[in-house]
Structure 1
Amino acid sequence: MNCRAFLLVGLITLLVLLSACSAQSGTTPASQSDPSSATASPSANAGPSAEPTAPPEQVGSGTTKIVIWHRWEGEYYKAIKQIFADYAIKNNVQIELLLVPDVANKAQIAVPSGQGPDIIAWVNDRIGSSALNEIIQPLDDYGITPGYLREQFAPVAADAMIYRHRVYGIPESMEAMTFIYNKALIAADDVPASTDDLIAKAKEYNAAHPGTYFFVYNARGDIYAAAPWFHGAGVALVTPDGTTEIASENGVKAARLIKAFSEIMPQELGYDEANTLFMDQKAAIIMNGPWVIADYQAKGIDFGLAPIPVVSSSGQPGKPFVGVKLLMLAANAKNSQAAVELMKYYGSADVQMQLARVNKQVPANRQAQQQVKDDPIIAGFIAQTANGVPMPNSEFINAMWDPFNKMIEVIWTGAAAPEQAVQDAAALFEESVADLK
């Protein structure tokens, strides 16, 4: 390794260590849609206890009791609680709902000691680590097979439930970023069809409207937000066997695109900065997810949704990560069969349609998607999730966040050339994977 490469690896390593010390992780759909929930990327949570910190809520009064640990809150939770209340009364069961901070990590301690729930509600990226640690159990023996999933749910949601050829969850809803544009600033025909078109239009728009921007997103230091460009370029960020294609020729092309974006957007551009520009109508387009729609509506912005453009280097559309919220069956569930029946009900078309209408959730159930296709917002996100990549659900996702976030950071700031940055990130990823194997 030459001196310059050595220094660049050292720079990225230092940034990774600083990030770990500050417990800062990539922005994910889970963290944005549900501010109370932990991010789907790894975080440095100090010493979680096995005990939940909120009193339980109970619905129904039957002799069979099903305990659910979750992170649902506010108005979003009200609709979900009513769904379970209706089921409890109809089926003569008692359902206990516990709001558990840091639910995924607390389950790691509670389930082996027999203090855990029957059902864990979370996001699909924790499936692999939870299965390996025997915190959750596969559903195949209960009739929830890959075939069942693919018959009932959208392909991207079904695939997100499968780890090492076994099923570990029932999908609830999906989240992915897409293009959102301000109709007062540009017309639908102005939304770019390709990344070359995007850059050209951005340069023209920015020059004609000083102090405003054609396109913004959470561009600096966030691989989750950058994933559409790498996937669209033909790069698998994390493969099921724990490898990455980030350092490939296609990876370099995607990294160069990130660098090109840094020249048409503000240099300091995190999630809050990008969102504020769009909210203040100083940006015509933002790439964001369903978690932000209520804010835009409250602000009175007349907006539309459009697919992420084609990545010009490959001719393939930009493909965002699709995070899938789900219900998982705990390994030591006391009422496993009753819990599975409840999970199946929660994944049904009628339930997911209701939650989509009330909470504007993007349903994973195929029939529910058809029933809410008249809602342009939900339909827009459904269309984008159909062209997305499931959030990796293997244990190797934990090796991705810090190295790749820092790769995006050094590309954006110019601290490393794209060609070198992807090589350094791949090396650090491989080191992290080796520790996991």
Structure 2
Amino acid sequence: MTGKKAATILLAASLVASLAACSKSESGSSASPEASQVPSASTAPSASEAPVEEALQPEPGATLKIWEDKPQQSFVEARIKEFQEKYGVTVTFEELPPTDQVTKLTTDGPAGLGADVVVFPHDKVGGAVQAGLILPNDVFAGEVTAANAENAVKAVTFEDVLYGYPYSIETYGLFYNKKLFPTPPTTFDEIINFAKTYNDPKNNKYTLMWELQQFYYDFGFMATTGGYIFGDDNTNKEDIGLNNEGAIEGITFMKSLKDAVLPVKTGDVSGDIKNGLFSDGTLALDINGPWRISEFKEAGVDFGVAPLPSFNGKPMKSFSGVKGYYVNAFTKYPNASKLLAEFLSNKDSQMKNFEMNGTLPANKEVASDPKVTGDPTNQAFLKQFENSVPMPSLPEMNSVWGPITSAISDIWDGGKDVKTSLDTAVQQIKDSMKSSK
């Protein structure tokens, strides 16, 4: 570890400690000392304990700002109105895409201009923590862990400390055209057999597509057979599993699909191209996410969604993402901010978010509610999420995307040897990680 990185981490630790102390003195909270400590992700409150929110109170005169995405505005504004009525804390909404928030918080946080509560994809957690930008989810850790899906909690945890307040999950599944597949295929053998008589590239007729140039989708093949990015559930950056036997087996199978199912180059399968083909009814199967549902409905496609098919006797895994709220480490009102983050992500909020926006819930009770399970599309994505791998939140993931994407291109487009290509990618990743230290 360099001196610069060590100093940054020490500063972040000091900042978290000082804010926690400030929170106690300002709120006059009657919570037990344990409530201010950071519990492990497996800690759960006992049935006899009073609700945490009764013990934690907002600081006198607290006013808050939240950054959120435009599609979430109606939901957030409805809930912050209820929050204000309950706690007497005024909250203002400011539109900012989640993918931009960590970058903006890096400058606006220390300057006192950042939102008190922010939201971003979970793979940004590691970088945000190491930069000292967010506070641990200490007070509500037990109930958040107990209420939400294990994969969702794991995704917003970094180095065994829970930071996030998860509220939605997403992964990809298999969209199928019901006119061509009245019943969705459950194995790749079925897909390969169908392609023998259906594929007609000259007339834009294809059996199956996914975004070949995006490792986000390709990863599912290697993960199914035992490949992984980092060891110990993507927490050990010293252990890279992108070229182990399982990864080689999975990518070898994927490579075989070029001749059998998808005879195109990686650059020929952009999102726009395949979405257009599925909307036109000439693409039978599309590996895609819930973000495309409205587009396909508007196109008038009679489609369904199913979990990904199996190959080599194993159900195909997928990458998954989790959105959650986080508390700005530089907030003047940490108690009020934690209460707001919990309020916007609790069971009632996740149900309202689903009803208003179709947001798939992280909360287990909401996910099992008939309102959610009554839709087969929701069922399919939730089932696939159970067989998914949360994207790594380690900052070292930035070193992975380029080399592994190049390796996939060499394998698919250039017919290069799978093991050699993956070995080269892993060495490039290790070199990049060393140079960034």
Same fold (TM over 0.5): yes
Q: What's 1:417 paired with? A: 417
How many Å separate the matches in 2 of 1:155 and 1:324? 11
TM-score by length of 2: 0.79
The Cα offsets for residues 235-281 of structure 1, whole Å up to 9 and x where unpaired, read as 11233121321111221122222322222223311222111111111
Q: What's 1:103 paired with? A: 101
The Cα offsets for residues 183-202 of structure 1, whole Å up to 9 and x where unpaired, read as 122111xx332334433332
SS of the residue corresponding to residue 362 of structure 1 reads: coil
Aligned to 1:199, which of 192, 200, 208? 192
- Greater shift after overlay, 118-127 or 203-212? 203-212
Change beyond 3 A, Cα 1:435–1:149: farther
Q: What's 2:27 paired with? A: none
Post-superposition offset of 1:205: 2.6
Whichever residue aligns with residue 327 of structure 1, its letter is: Y
The Cα offsets for residues 123-147 of structure 1, whole Å up to 9 and x where unpaired, read as 100110110110112122x2x33x4
- Aligned pairs for 1:25-104 (under 5 A) are 63-70=61-68, 72-74=69-71, 76-100=72-96, 102-104=100-102
The Cα offsets for residues 382-407 of structure 1, whole Å up to 9 and x where unpaired, read as 11111111111121221211111222
The Cα offsets for residues 142-192 of structure 1, whole Å up to 9 and x where unpaired, read as 2x33x433311011101111111101100010110000101122111xx33
How many Å separate the matches in 1 of 2:415 and 2:360? 39
SS of the residue corresponding to residue 134 of structure 1 reads: coil
How many Å separate the matches in 2 of 1:210 and 1:257? 26
Q: What's 2:178 paired with? A: 183
Q: What's 1:400 paired with? A: 400
Post-superposition offset of 1:207: 6.0
How many Å separate the matches in 2 of 1:125 and 1:208? 37
Q: What's 1:169 paired with? A: 164
How many Å separate the matches in 2 of 1:225 and 1:281? 22
Q: What's 1:153 paired with? A: 148
Change beyond 3 A, Cα 1:126–1:434: same
How many Å separate the matches in 2 of 1:208 and 1:295? 24
SS of the residue corresponding to residue 301 of structure 1 reads: coil
- Greater shift after overlay, 382-391 or 207-216? 207-216
SS of the residue corresponding to residue 234 of structure 1 reads: coil
SS of the residue corresponding to residue 180 of structure 2 reads: coil
- Aligned pairs for 1:324-339 (under 5 A) are 324-339=322-337
SS of the residue corresponding to residue 374 of structure 2 reads: coil
The Cα offsets for residues 100-136 of structure 1, whole Å up to 9 and x where unpaired, read as 3522211112212333221111110011011011011
Conserved 8 A contact 2:134-2:329 = yes
Whichever residue aligns with residue 326 of structure 1, its letter is: G
In the alignment, structure 1 segments of 5+ residues that lack a partner are: 1-61
The Cα offsets for residues 49-108 of structure 1, whole Å up to 9 and x where unpaired, read as xxxxxxxxxxxxx942112123x114x432232222232233321112222352221111
How many Å separate the matches in 2 of 1:416 and 1:316? 26
Conserved 8 A contact 2:227-2:245 = no
SS of the residue corresponding to residue 247 of structure 1 reads: coil
Conserved 8 A contact 2:306-2:377 = no
TM-score by length of 1: 0.79
Aligned to 2:365, which of 353, 364, 367? 367
Aligned to 1:228, which of 187, 210, 220? 220
Conserved 8 A contact 1:255-1:422 = no
How many Å separate the matches in 2 of 1:283 and 1:379? 23
Post-superposition offset of 1:208: 11
How many Å separate the matches in 2 of 1:359 and 1:405? 33
The Cα offsets for residues 277-327 of structure 1, whole Å up to 9 and x where unpaired, read as 111111111010011101111111111111111231xx3211111100110
How many Å separate the matches in 2 of 1:297 and 1:309? 23
Q: What's 2:118 paired with? A: 120
- How many residues in Structure 1 have an aligned counterpart in Structure 2? 366
- Aligned pairs for 1:283-294 (under 5 A) are 283-294=283-294
Conserved 8 A contact 1:236-1:245 = yes
Identity %: 27
Conserved 8 A contact 1:222-1:408 = no
Aligned to 1:250, which of 246, 252, 261? 246
SS of the residue corresponding to residue 236 of structure 2 reads: coil
In the alignment, structure 2 segments of 5+ residues that lack a partner are: 1-59
SS of the residue corresponding to residue 115 of structure 2 reads: coil
Post-superposition offset of 1:429: 1.2
How many Å separate the matches in 1 of 2:360 and 2:375? 11
Q: What's 1:276 paired with? A: 276
CA RMSD in angstroms comes to 2.0
How many Å separate the matches in 2 of 1:306 and 1:156? 20
Q: What's 1:28 paired with? A: none
Whichever residue aligns with residue 416 of structure 1, its letter is: K
Whichever residue aligns with residue 308 of structure 1, its letter is: L
Whichever residue aligns with residue 181 of structure 2, its letter is: I
Whichever residue aligns with residue 172 of structure 2, its letter is: M
Conserved 8 A contact 1:214-1:285 = yes
SS of the residue corresponding to residue 80 of structure 2 reads: helix
Whichever residue aligns with residue 302 of structure 1, its letter is: D
Aligned to 1:317, which of 301, 315, 318? 315
- Which protein has the larger Cα radius of gyration, Structure 1 or Structure 2? 2
Change beyond 3 A, Cα 1:432–1:195: farther
How many Å separate the matches in 2 of 1:347 and 1:79? 11
Q: What's 1:432 paired with? A: 432
Change beyond 3 A, Cα 1:415–1:206: closer
Moved over 4 A (4+): 207-210
How many Å separate the matches in 2 of 1:135 and 1:282? 47
How many Å separate the matches in 1 of 2:145 and 2:277? 40
Whichever residue aligns with residue 391 of structure 1, its letter is: M
How many Å separate the matches in 1 of 2:120 and 2:306? 28
